[in-house]
């Protein structure tokens, strides 16, 4: 592991855990970095962080920061590390994308020559300490620390100030279908909703995600529905679900004086209509 000239750390795991499990460790680091002469680096030479680049920065954050960046530049330098002929971003993703949006040619950056493990620990502490940290980023960092450096869930829990069960739940989010992980990253789906459905099958997840958006289900309602899906035979919490299963419709909307069925194909619709005709014919006059 390479050591930073600014932040020399012991290779001993207990020392890393002791340092990075502290509150506000990133805030303290950034104060130290402010006293170090930053270097102006062409923005084109800085690449997004390889561990979390699949997680989009939310559009609202980019717009909010870019409005200030365009007028005053970056208020804090980015933190980067050497990566071949370029640099890899460690801290400051929102500022980085805001600088791109503002078409800055150069940005101030502190170069910190650290290895992968310390980079991951900095990312974990940064996500943990943010008020609106992205839980998908945390899941990806957990996964990388576990797979690349054999971190246990107990250690990850200590570092992130979470329980071991919370670490398990966060890691499970990465098993969700990609488009649902994207919704969670973008803020279109809450962590509570995602956690409630993460242990279900893909088909069940797809059905429930439609209901979450169509009916604006609360987390508690989603948890109750997920429990019903996990039972065999299924127990339906409302008429919509019972009608949906009986009709094999993609979705059912029950209103005061009407019921609407949406089928995914013509064959299912015709089969449903045929069953209604059969039922009607069997009723004696």
- Give dist(CA 170, CA 216) in Å, integer: 23
Residue spans of alpha helices (H) in the chain: 13-20, 25-34, 59-72, 93-101, 116-129, 135-149, 153-160, 164-172, 178-186, 191-197, 202-215, 219-229, 239-247, 266-282
Predicted local distance difference test score (pLDDT) of residue 27: 72
Q: Which two tokens stand for residue 244?
A: 């949906």
Rounded average pLDDT over 111-122: 93
Q: Is residue 270 part of a domain?
A: yes
Q: Is residue 85 part of a domain?
A: yes
**C-alpha dist (Å) from residue 77 to 40, 90, 276:** 9, 11, 68
Q: Classify residue 41 by its DSSP letter.
A: E
- Listed range (19-28, 38-47, 53-62, 235-244) with the worst mean pLDDT: 235-244
Q: Which domain holds residue 282?
A: 244-285
Using alpha carbons only, give the angle 125, 193, 224 rounded to the nearest 5 degrees. 135
In which band, very low, low, confident or very high, does the pLDDT at 271 lie, cut at 50, 70 and 90?
Answer: confident
Q: Residue 259 pLDDT more than 90?
A: no
Q: Is residue 163 part of a domain?
A: no
Q: Is residue 210 part of a domain?
A: no
In our burial notation (b when 16+ CB lie closer than 10 A, e otherwise), range 106-144 reads ebbbbbbebebbbbbbbbbbbbbbeeeebbbbbbbbbbb
Assign residue 76 the CATH number of its domain: 3.90.1530.30
pLDDT top residue among 195 and 270: 195
Predicted local distance difference test score (pLDDT) of residue 118: 92
Q: Is residue 24 part of a domain?
A: yes
Predicted local distance difference test score (pLDDT) of residue 245: 67
In which band, very low, low, confident or very high, does the pLDDT at 6 lie, cut at 50, 70 and 90?
Answer: very low
Among 127, 146, 179, where does a domain finish?
A: 127
Predicted local distance difference test score (pLDDT) of residue 33: 73
Nearest to 160 by CA among 171, 149, 150: 171
Q: Are 55 and 140 in contact (CB under 8 A)?
A: yes
pLDDT top residue among 232 and 184: 184
Residues, the chain, total? 285
Rounded average pLDDT over 68-89: 89
Rounded average pLDDT over 6-16: 53
Rounded to the nearest integer, the mean pLDDT of the chain is 83
- Residue 257 bridge partners (DSSP): none
Q: Residue 208 pLDDT more than 70?
A: yes
Q: Is residue 105 part of a domain?
A: yes
- Summarize pLDDT for 150-160 with one digit per residue, the tens: 999 999 999 99
Rounded average pLDDT over 251-256: 65
Predicted local distance difference test score (pLDDT) of residue 69: 82
Among 127, 144, 167, where does a domain finish?
A: 127
In which band, very low, low, confident or very high, does the pLDDT at 9 lie, cut at 50, 70 and 90?
Answer: very low
Q: Is residue 78 part of a domain?
A: yes
Tell me the CA end-to-end span of the chain in Å, nearest whole number.
85
Predicted local distance difference test score (pLDDT) of residue 41: 96
Rounded average pLDDT over 69-94: 90
- Residue 80 bridge partners (DSSP): 89, 111
- In terms of pTM, does the model score above 0.85? no
Predicted local distance difference test score (pLDDT) of residue 138: 95
Q: Are 152 and 177 in contact (CB under 8 A)?
A: no
- Give dist(CA 111, CA 45) in Å, integer: 13
Predicted local distance difference test score (pLDDT) of residue 256: 55
Nearest to 109 by CA among 57, 36, 50, 53: 36
Q: Is residue 48 part of a domain?
A: yes
Predicted local distance difference test score (pLDDT) of residue 249: 74
- Give dist(CA 38, CA 18) in Å, integer: 28
In which band, very low, low, confident or very high, does the pLDDT at 3 lie, cut at 50, 70 and 90?
Answer: very low
Count of domains observed in the chain: 2
Among 72, 99, 127, where does a domain finish?
A: 127
Predicted local distance difference test score (pLDDT) of residue 13: 65
- Give dist(CA 31, CA 117) in Å, integer: 22
């Amino acid at each position: 592991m390479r050591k930073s000239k600014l932040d020399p750390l012991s290779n001993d795991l207990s020392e890393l855990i002791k340092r990075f499990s502290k509150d506000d460790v990133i805030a303290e680091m950034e104060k130290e970095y402010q006293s170090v002469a930053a270097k102006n680096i062409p923005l084109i030479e800085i690449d997004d962080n390889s561990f979390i680049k699949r997680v989009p920065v939310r559009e609202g954050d980019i717009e909010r920061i870019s409005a200030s960046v365009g007028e005053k530049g970056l208020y804090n330098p980015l933190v980067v590390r050497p990566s071949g002929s370029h640099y890899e971003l460690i801290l400051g993703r929102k500022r980085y994308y805001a600088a791109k949006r503002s078409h800055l040619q150069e940005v101030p950056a502190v170069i910190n020559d650290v290895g992968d493990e310390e980079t991951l620990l900095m990312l974990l502490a940064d996500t943990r300490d943010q008020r609106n940290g992205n839980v998908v980023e945390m899941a990806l960092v957990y996964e990388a620390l576990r797979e690349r450096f054999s971190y246990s869930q107990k250690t990850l829990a200590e570092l992130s100030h979470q329980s071991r069960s919370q670490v398990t739940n966060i890691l499970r989010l990465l098993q969700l279908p990609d488009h649902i992980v994207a919704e969670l990253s973008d803020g279109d789906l809450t962590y509570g909703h995602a956690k409630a459905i993460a242990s279900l099958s893909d088909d069940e997840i797809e059905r429930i995600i439609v209901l979450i958006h169509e009916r604006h289900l609360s987390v508690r309602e989603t948890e109750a529905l997920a429990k019903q899906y996990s039972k065999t035979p299924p127990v339906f919490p409302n008429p919509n679900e019972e009608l949906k299963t009986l009709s094999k419709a993609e979705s059912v909307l029950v209103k005061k004086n009407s019921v609407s069925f949406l089928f995914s194909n013509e064959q299912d619709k015709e089969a449903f209509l045929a069953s209604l005709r059969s039922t009607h014919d069997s009723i004696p006059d």
